[in-house]
Structure 1
Amino acid sequence: MLYWAVICLIIAIIAGILGFGGVAGTAAGIAKVLFFIFLVLLVISLIANAVRGKGPKI
């Protein structure tokens, strides 16, 4: 999911440079949403592993 957020951010930057403001704004918005979903899933995963008592795999 983080991969897709970075891809949308790159599309937004390129669209902004080329002058496509609407496309850049939309892509940046999508990147923000995907990034925050990624963060929420990361926190849930960390909490679930802490509750189960599993340590990180090395």
Structure 2
Amino acid sequence: MLDKEQEVKFTKEQIVSSKQFTVIEKDILKALLEDKDYSLKEVKKIIVDFNKKEVK
């Protein structure tokens, strides 16, 4: 079993080409993710935080 320090990480390209996310979520991620590795937990938090933002 993986502990937090050994969480699997994915590149931005792997994440935005994943079937796990909707087209809209992928568009959000393309705009917000930097060129570094992310865990799925981090990516899901980015989407949730983005969806909570107030529209200006």
TM-score above 0.5, yes or no: no
Please state which structure has a larger fraction of its residues in helix: 1
Category of TM-score, reference length = shorter chain: 0.3 to 0.5
- Normalising by structure 1, what TM-score? 0.32
Structure having the higher Rg: 1
Structure with higher RCO (Cα < 8 A, 6+ apart): 2
